[in-house]
Amino acid sequence: MKEVTKLLIREFKIKELGYDFLGYSLQKGDIYTFHHLIIPARFGGKEVKWNGAVLCGKTAHPYLHVIENKDYEMFCYLTSEMIDMNIKGQLDIENLRRIHDLLETFEKHYSGSRTSKGKVLIKEEYTKRAKLWKIKRIKRTYIIVLGIDVKDALNKENVKKKLTRSQTCIKIGSDNYDW
């Protein structure tokens, strides 16, 4: 695995979260791969952090390229969401929900379609993504950080600006809580 891929996996906490930039979980025998976001490899795109996303090599990555070949506009929407997460420096639930909706739209539109060689266009494993109800924001948990009730503090714009992400994100047990 290339160093930039390892860096992205670490910085975006891919292993801890259990899903990639498209919401796919790594399955047994699969590997994480680097996907060029802005400048494709065929046009000399470098494998650098700002130009990349981490995808599961046997599901998300090939599926994204199926979408690219079949519906380029949909591919651009998906890429835009991944670029947004790359800029934010985190896998964001709102982006993942939009990605999920886009993928479901593609699947409804191309359900039952076949390639020019007669193979199924959307393989069954392409439709198995992380459940979004598992990727959710806490709404009713109260956490005291620096003497501030975070739930209430985040509703007030003046306090929200003063708190950094590291002050408002914590890890409890095996679940990640994203504000």
Residue 100 has pLDDT above 80, yes or no: yes
Q: Is 176 exposed, middle or buried (0-12, 13-18, 19+ CB in 10 A)?
A: middle
Per-residue buried b or exposed e for 69-101, using 16+ beta carbons within 10 Å of the residue's own CB: ebbeebbebbbebbbebbeeebbbeebbebbbe
Q: Which 3 state secondary structure label does DSSP give 73?
A: helix
Q: Could you tell me which residue, 116 or 165, shows the higher pLDDT?
A: 116
Per-residue pLDDT tens digits for 15-29: 998 899 999 998 888
- pLDDT for 136 equals 46
Average pLDDT, the chain: 79
Cα dihedral angle (70, 101, 40, 85), rounded to 10 degrees? Answer: 180
Contact 51, 38 (CB under 8 A): yes
Per-residue pLDDT tens digits for 30-74: 899 999 998 877 778 788 899 899 999 999 999 999 999 999 999
Measure the CA–CA gap between 54 and 20, rounded to whole angstroms: 6
In this prediction, residues 108-125 reach a mean pLDDT of: 94
- pLDDT for 161 equals 43
- Tokens representing 35? 């996907």
Residues near 136 by beta carbon (within 8 Å), at least 6 away in sequence: 93
In this prediction, residues 128-142 reach a mean pLDDT of: 55
The tally of CA atoms less than 13 A away on the side-chain side of residue 77 is 15
